[in-house]
Amino acid sequence: MSLRRLITYRESLSNNLTMYKIVKQIDFSYAHRLVDYPGKCAFLHGHNGLVEIEISGSELDNLGMLVDFTEVKTLVEEWIDQHLDHRTILKQDDPLAEVLKKEGEKVFLMDTNPTAEHLARLIYEAAAKQGLRVTAVRLWETPASMAEYSE
């Protein structure tokens, strides 16, 4: 690589690097099971999940903030409360879904198995739709197990 191309490449990298990052944590509880899974997670069970919403950027607002933690909490926690918290999260074709709905249970259906990876992506997309400059979402399914989604 020529020196000129190397300098241009390094400049483009530095222009894309962010300098500031915040992370907001949100707790929620949910139940799920994984269709066709060959282990214990095939059975309905619950988690007290911890979500970390990471937001990055190179510029702060006039108050010196990337984004107010309260704004992140309000937007994302409201979405989680309406869709995931204290719900049973199932794959759309899970036969248990109709039974639970018939019994008046709150069920959230997904096109995919509700793995930690898929839930992290779902929350990432919801946060981005709220206008947040989200760079990653981490879902701690247990204190020792975490899945992350980032673009």
Which are the catalytic amino acids?
41, 86, 141
Distances (CA, A) of 58 to 15, 16, 17: 9, 9, 8
Q: Which residue, among 12, 51, 6, has the nearest Cα to 28 in the 3D structure?
A: 51
Name the 3-class secondary structure at 21. strand
Q: What are the backbone dihedrals phi and psi of residue 100, each rounded to the nearest 5 degrees, phi first?
A: -65, -45
Q: Please name the residues in contact with 100: beta carbons below 8 A apart, sequence gap of 6 or more.
A: 88, 90, 107
Q: Is there a contact between 139 and 123 (Cβ–Cβ < 8 Å)?
A: yes
